[in-house]
Amino acid sequence: MIVIDEKKIFDEIQKRRPVSVALNGPDGILPKIQDTASRIMERFGIPAYVLADSCFGTCDMNTNGAKVLGAEILFHIGHTVNSTSFGDDIVLVDAFDNISFDGIARKCAEEFSGKTISLVTDSQHLHEVDKVRAILEQEGIKVMVGKGKGQLNDGQVFGCEFYPVMETRDSVDANIFLGQSNFHAAGIALSTNRPTYVLDPYFNEIREVTEFAQTLQKKAILSVYKAAEAESFGIIVGLKEGQFSKVTALKFKRELESLGKKVQLFALTDITDDKLQNLRGIDAFIQVACPRISTDNHFHRPVLSTPQANALVRILKKENVDNFLQVPHWL
Ligand code: SF4
């Protein structure tokens, strides 16, 4: 069960007495955030708005929504990061999953006996890393936990940022991800090119995602080669504040034009196949927002992420493009 650190929220409101607040977080915990908002309104008698658009990370906080609503504090829940530099109006609030990994860790100890593994997780299960490590080490497994970097804590990954597992990848037999997210685990498999497993305490199962990741990789490579045949490109700047990357968009524009391609520029908040279907005269797109939009979704025309677009430029220049997803950060 997800537990939100409501004490932090209540203490902050008590201290700062805002006239109204806003809250947001990942889709999966929105019902919990609704409950928290109701408790704020009951306890303090102020409006507490739930920003209910999809929110995938601290790259996608919708601070503009909070501003438009006149909310003096935005509580961003459930994306624990190693940073406090978001300004006074934004308060990051932890949301931990209190399910125990003890049972599934013992099962893992039997399966990976004698092996060396890299232990990794997302923000909601970070507090379980030390406990699982102790169980596995007791059974003779060599456990590594890679160092965090930037906003990442040790042993933590985002969907597009993999520093801890990239640090350990040459020393381990497999990556073990604590949680339920095939999305995060597939990113780990793609960036490290190592067998990767999900330790899922809810289904009490160990799932390998290596094959799923290979399917995503084939799709990503195919899109790059299809885009290499395109003459006209649409380059899309994402308007979500933490995914905004106009400089990268303009860099790709310059590079493609110097290679004789036609380029139009677009800006979108949500980059979906439906929205792109309206745009005419474009053979392929490059979007410089969230890279997982390109790798994990279906589009009728090629839609390349930043690492795919880097590979495309190299192909057009007749350079080597090996392993373009095996980098610690896909932006
Ligand atoms: S994959 Fe990266 S850019 Fe996309 S939502 Fe997650 S953190 Fe943000």
DSSP state letters, 209-238: -HHHHHHHHHHHHHHHHHHTT-SEEEEEEE
Query: What per-residue confidence (pLDDT) applies to 87?
Result: 82
Evaluate whether residue 63 is within a structural domain.
yes
Whether 96 and 3 have beta carbons less than 8 Å apart is answered as yes
Spacing, Cα 302 to ligand 1 middle (Å): 20
The verdict on residue 322 lying in a domain is no
Distance CA 77, CA 6 (A): 10
Rounded to whole angstroms, the Cα distance separating 293 from 290 reads 6
Confidence (pLDDT) at 322: 86
- Ligand 1 and 122: CB distance under 6 A: no
- Do both 85 and 110 map to the same domain? no
Residue 16 forms part of a structural domain: yes
Q: Whose CA is nearest to atom 5 of ligand 1?
A: 56
Chain centroid to Cα 192, Å, comes to 16
Per-residue pLDDT band at 9 (split at 50, 70, 90): very high
User: What would the pLDDT profile of 40-87 be if each residue is shown by its tens digit?
Assistant: 999 999 999 999 998 888 898 999 999 999 999 999 999 877 776 678
- Answer with the one of 185, 208, 231 that is the final residue of a domain: 208
Q: Give a yes or no: residue 325 inside a domain.
A: no
The answer to whether residues 108 and 204 belong to one domain is yes
The three-point CA angle 272-278-279 to 5° equals 95
Residue carrying the six token digits 């597939």? 186
**Please, which residues bridge with residue 95 across strands?**
4
Under DSSP, is residue 73 helix (H, G, I), strand (E, B) or coil?
A: strand
- Out of 208, 234, 260, a domain closes at 208
Quick one: how far is CA 212 from the chain centroid? 17
Q: Which pLDDT does position 84 carry in this prediction?
A: 66
Query: Over the chain, what is the mean pLDDT?
Result: 96
Pocket of ligand 1 contains residue 158 by CB under 6 Å = yes
In the Cβ-directed half-sphere of 273, how many Cα atoms lie within 13 Å? 8
CA of 322 to the centre of ligand 1 (A): 23
126 is a domain residue: yes
Tell the residue nearest (CA) to atom 2 of ligand 1. 160
In a domain, 68, yes or no: yes
Burial of 179 (0-12, 13-18, 19+ CB in 10 A): buried
- Cross-strand pairs, 236: 266, 287
Please give the tally of structural domains in the chain. 3
Which CATH number characterizes residue 35's domain? 3.40.50.11840
Report the pLDDT averaged over residues 216-242.
97
166 pLDDT exceeds 80?
A: yes
CATH of the domain at 143: 3.40.50.11850
AA identity, residue 79: H
Residue 326 lies in a domain: no
270-317, pLDDT tens digit by residue?
999 999 999 999 999 999 999 999 999 999 999 999 999 999 999 999
Lowest-confidence range among 14-28, 72-86, 97-111?
Answer: 72-86
CB of residue 292 inside a 6 A radius of ligand 1: yes
Pocket test for ligand 1, best of 60, 82, 297, 327 (most atoms within 8 A of CB): 60
Give the model's pLDDT for residue 295.
97
Same domain, 83 and 166: no
Kindly report the pTM of this predicted structure. 0.93
Same domain as 165, residue 231? no
pLDDT in tens, 77-90: 998 777 766 788 99
Ordered strands of the 196-200 beta sheet: 142-144, 116-121, 174-178, 196-200, 205-208
Going by alpha carbons, the residue nearest to atom 4 of ligand 1 is: 290
Q: For residue range 296-305, list pLDDT tens digits in order.
A: 999 999 999 9
Give the C-alpha separation, 197 to 186, whole Å. Answer: 9
Q: Is 60 in the pocket of ligand 1 (CB under 6 A)?
A: yes
In a domain, 39, yes or no: yes
| Final residue in a domain of this structure, among 55, 76, 95 | 95
Mean pLDDT of 140-169: 96
Average pLDDT for residues 126-147, to the nearest whole number?
97
Does residue 17 share a domain with residue 86?
yes
Where residue 118 falls (left for φ over 0; alpha for ψ -120 to 50; beta otherwise) is: beta
252-285 burial, b for 16+ CB within 10 Å, e for fewer?
Answer: bbebbeeeebebeebebeebeeeebeeeeebbbb
Query: Does 179 have pLDDT greater than 80?
Result: yes
Domain of 190 in residue numbering reads as 102-208
Please tell me if the CB atom of residue 159 comes closer than 6 angstroms to any atom of ligand 1. Answer: yes
Q: Are residues 189 and 107 in the same domain?
A: yes
Cα–Cα distance for residue pair 285/294, rounded to 1 Å: 10
